[in-house]
Structure formats: C-alpha cells, structure tokens
Copies of this chain bind each other. A is one copy, B any other.
Amino acid sequence: MPCVNHTLVVFAVKCFTRFLISGSYSHSLGLEVVRRDVSKYIHQRDGIESNWENIFLACGATEAVKMLLEMISTTGRDSERAGVMIPIPQYPLYSATNSEYNNFQINYYLDESDNWSLSADELKRALTSVKGQCIPKAIVIINPGNPTGQVLPQKCMEDIIKFAVDNRLMLIADEVYQQNVYQPDKYPWASFKKVLSNMGPSYSGKLELASLMSCSKGYMGECGYRGGYCELLNFDPAVQAQLYKALSARLCPPLMGQVALDAIVNPPRPGEPSYSLFVKERDDVLSALKDKADITYSALNSMPNMSCNPVQGAMYAFPRIHLPPKAIQEAKRRGEAPDFFYCLQLLEEKGICVVPGSGFGQQEGTYHFRTTILPSIEKMKYVMKQIEEFHISFMKKYS
C-alpha cells in the first residue's frame, strides 16, 4: 500500500488512548462514537443527513460485502437462486462470494471502447439473458472501478439507479476508492447516495442502497487493521434488524480497525497541531498516485499492440494486450490461458508480477492484465521500461 502514514499513526494512537478500549469487545455493530463520526463524514461529503444507526462497521469492507451477499442468498437450487449482477471485469471477491453463498452470477460487461463505462442497454441485456434462471435481487457497482480505474459519470449513475429501481434490485455500491480520484475536474466522483438524492422523491425513497468504504484504500492504505463500514439506505426495518442480528454472531469488528476508521473519517482539523502535516502527507500521497496514474497510462499506450484507458481513479491500470495468434497457440499448447501465459513469461523474464485479466473476467477473445500504480514514481518508471522491453521481445517472438 502507498506509504506508512505518520500522521495517521499518531492520530490513531491519540484515538486509542482516548477510547482505551482496543482490548475489549465493542457493540456488535461497532462503537457508537465511530458510527457517529462516520455519519458526520458522510454528511460532510454529500451535504445530506446520515443516520448513524444505519451504519455498521466491519472487518474491512470485505466482511460487509459478504454479509450483504449472504443476506440475499437462498438455499434454493437452479431457478430459485438469488441473482446478483456484477461487472465484468470485476474484483474477484464478488464472483467468489456469490459462489460461496449459492448466488447466481449475472455478468454485465463494461465497455472498454468507451472508457469502461456501462450503459442501461447492457444492464437490460444482461438481466434479460438470465430470465427464468434465477431471482434477480442485487446489482454490484464498483466506482471508481477495480480493476478498471474508471470514474462513472453522473448520467450513467442515474441510469443505473433507474434500472435498479425499475427491477427492484438492491444496489451494492463499492465506493472504497472514493478518495482515489485523479482528475476531479474532468471526471468528478459522486456517491450513489448523493446522485440518488438529487433525483428527487420518485427515486430517492425507493432504492435499497448499501454503500461501502474502507481504511485499506485512499491515501491511507491501512489494510492490515481491517476497518470498514457500510451505510444502509431505505432498507425495510425488519430486514435491517435481521442483518444486524446476523452480524452480532461475529461478536464485533476488530477494535483497532474501528479506531483506524475513526482516524480517517475524523481527521485533524484546521488549527489542530497535526493538521498541516496531515494535509501535506495526504496530498503528497494522492498527488504521487496521480503522477503514477499518468506515467502508467502513457507508458502502456506507447507500447505496440497494447492499449490502456486512462486511470481516472482507484489504484490500477488494466491494459489490453493484443496477442498475436502464435502466442495464443503456444498458450493453448501449454494448457494456459493466453493472458496467464503472457504474465507468467513476464514474471519469469523480468521478475515483475501482474495479474492476468482472466482472473477478473473479460470479453471473450480479449486479453488484459492488471497492474497497481502503488510503487514509487522511480520504481514505476523502471517497471514500465522493463515491461516494454519484455513486451516488444514477446511480440517479436510470436509475430
């Protein structure tokens, strides 16, 4: 993750001594003081009221995702399974968790040719294609995207909300990269809650929305503490009560994760001794990430037979590799997916580890890999140079 953030550590220690509770159980939904601080953060972010009792804390956003996907699951088989729409490419937590809880995975495809956007037409196509095969219950949107790095335009988010309301789908908004937005003027990020609120009463009271946030991303990258939250909106109180009851079986989220989350949603304020250092560190991390997003985008696009959409947000680039037929044949001969073959060769020749696109899903016949943009600028430049050398020689070998 990006850095050891000195200010955050100091601040976490401050919180720790303030609470003096890291060794004890908390309320099973998390400490009230942290849930209240989360609701203030959301209020400040969106300009919309947030009720702290609709917020539960989790062992990273991951646990919240798992609880939500479990909540809608059924013990049914075949057409009685709960259907969950997920993007392709997607962060594999979603496919894995659907599989874990017997949910039926409904793929909708992001449009690579239009900067990984997604259209209402594609959502309709995906839902229609599984008619009678499951009971559609939810749609997952990752914004900013993982592994694809796009930031969704407001119009697109409105279309998604309309689609979810029309089809009575719960919207799971994976918004863990909300602080990783690199061109906020050109590609601004907004929460689904805010966009929903702006659509007025014919929509705002009708969408069951679950929004996720984490300590593990942003400028923080404090992933080892396992802190995260989920805000629920418009849930039937009886359903929410059942979810909260199910959550109580885990006893409580890790206290240090709760403390770290509190440090993040309630950072140093102007006039406080560590404010200026905090701002400097946060801005340094985010501006370096922006630079690395640009470096990665430019470097990847300068390579022949490689194309990459701009990294507008999150922490990844997901370039397409246009593999020649001979490389695909060689991969088949070895019993490997073509992009896996490419990535393995890169690892063996250069010691650079990237993740094959087949792990995230991709349009049939296209090949990608995911790389983070987390190493230092110097290292990213070196790595891009190494990838280029490998790529050119690989392409030559199999052309």
Point out residues on A near B: beta carbons under 8 Å. Answer: 1, 4, 9, 21-26, 59-60, 62-63, 66, 70, 75-77, 93, 96-97, 100, 102, 221-226, 246, 249-257
Contacts and interface: CB of A to CB of B under 8 A. Distances in A.
Nearest to A245: B96
Closest 5 CB pairs of A and B: A224-B255, A254-B254, A256-B256, A226-B254, A23-B222
Contacts of A77: 75
Given A221-B23, A223-B25, A225-B22, A62 B256 contact: no
A290 to B, nearest CB: 22
Contact of A59 (B1, B24, B254): B254
Could you say how many copies of this chain the assembly holds?
A: 2
24 contacts: A1-B23, A4-B23, A21-B224, A22-B225, A23-B221, A23-B225, A25-B224, A59-B226, A59-B254, A62-B249, A62-B250, A62-B251, A63-B250, A66-B249, A66-B250, A70-B100, A75-B76, A93-B249, A97-B249, A100-B246, A225-B256, A226-B254, A226-B255, A254-B256
Contacts of A1: 23-25
Given A26-B224, A226-B255, 15 more contacts: A21-B224, A22-B224, A23-B225, A24-B223, A25-B223, A70-B100, A75-B76, A75-B102, A97-B249, A100-B249, A223-B251, A224-B254, A224-B256, A225-B254, A254-B254
A21 B4 CA distance: 10
A65 to B, nearest CB: 9
Contacts of A255: 224-226
A223 B21 CA distance: 10
A60 B224 CA distance: 15
A224 B256 CA distance: 8
